[in-house]
Amino acid sequence: MARKNDSFYFDCFRQSAECACRAAHLLYEVMNDYDPQRLKDHMDAMHKIEQEADSVRHRLLDELVTAFITPFDREDIAELSHVLDDVTDSIEGVLDRMYYDNVTTMRHEALQMTDMVVHACEQIAALADELPQFRRSKTLRERVFAVNTIETDADHVFIEAMRSLHTSETDPLQVFAWHDVYRNLEQCADDCEHVADVVDSIVMKNS
């Protein structure tokens, strides 16, 4: 069981993971009912989630500066907070890129990759829930492996998406736009894997 004075950090990790999940679900809703006329409103809603995630990270770092006892190494706490925040930032970046590049229609592969990002974020949230018992958890490393598998699958979809884009799309502006969107979606999956890898490293160091 985590010490009482450790609960602040674990709560922050949970809140950060929750922000990432909310961002992923919002992205899923936007992509599956895509309306470019509403994109700016969705960006505003996404930015509020991103600001909340930033606030959680800042609170954690402010506490970490003066903390005497921490549940594991300060550097690992800071790193985990950073990579969790990266997930939400990258998800927000997908909508930003679609707005910059004036994406007007949706592509099937983007929906596939978005679904994978949602599932990866759900696994990240489950990891955050289990983290207080990281020394005794029997399923935490299974969730790490699940995130790694999702990221690998997302890489495969990304490769096929890029091939389809460059072989079937005739509008060079759309090729340019979707090239960026696909890369941003791939980054979301990569960032989820980074979270899982940091958690795995923490478990290995402290077991």
Which structural domains are found in the chain, ordered by start?
Answer: 4-206 (1.20.58.220)
Q: What are the C-alpha distances in Å from 122 to residues 94, 96, 150?
A: 18, 22, 11
CA angle 30/32/38 to nearest 5° reads: 35
Q: Is 133 exposed, middle or buried (0-12, 13-18, 19+ CB in 10 A)?
A: middle
Rounded average pLDDT over 73-85: 96
Q: What is the average pLDDT across 132-139?
A: 87
Q: What is the pLDDT of residue 4?
A: 46
- pLDDT bucket at 78, cuts 50 / 70 / 90: very high
Structure tokens at 29: 């809703």
207 pLDDT more than 90: no
pLDDT at 90 over 90: yes
Which carries the bigger pLDDT value, residue 137 or residue 55?
Answer: 55
**From CA 153, how far away is CA 26, in angstroms rounded?**
22
Q: Is the pLDDT of residue 189 over 60?
A: yes
For residue 204, the tally of other CB atoms under 10 A from its CB is 9
What predicted TM-score, i.e. pTM, was given to this entire model? 0.94
Q: What is the identity of the amino acid at 81?
A: S
pLDDT one-digit tens code per residue, 56-65: 999 999 999 9
Residue 1's pLDDT is 41
Report pLDDT for 68.
83
Q: What is the mean pLDDT of residues 125-152?
A: 93
The pLDDT score that the predictor gives to residue 67 is: 83
pLDDT value at residue 137: 85
> Closest Cα to residue 22, out of 56, 39, 45, 44?
45
- pLDDT score of 128 more than 90: yes
Of 34-38, 71-75, 135-139, 148-152, which range is least confident? 135-139
Which residues, 6 or more positions from 195, have their beta carbon under 8 angstroms from its beta carbon? 17, 80, 83, 84, 87, 124, 127, 147
| Mean residue pLDDT across the chain | 94
Longest dimension (CA), the chain: 60
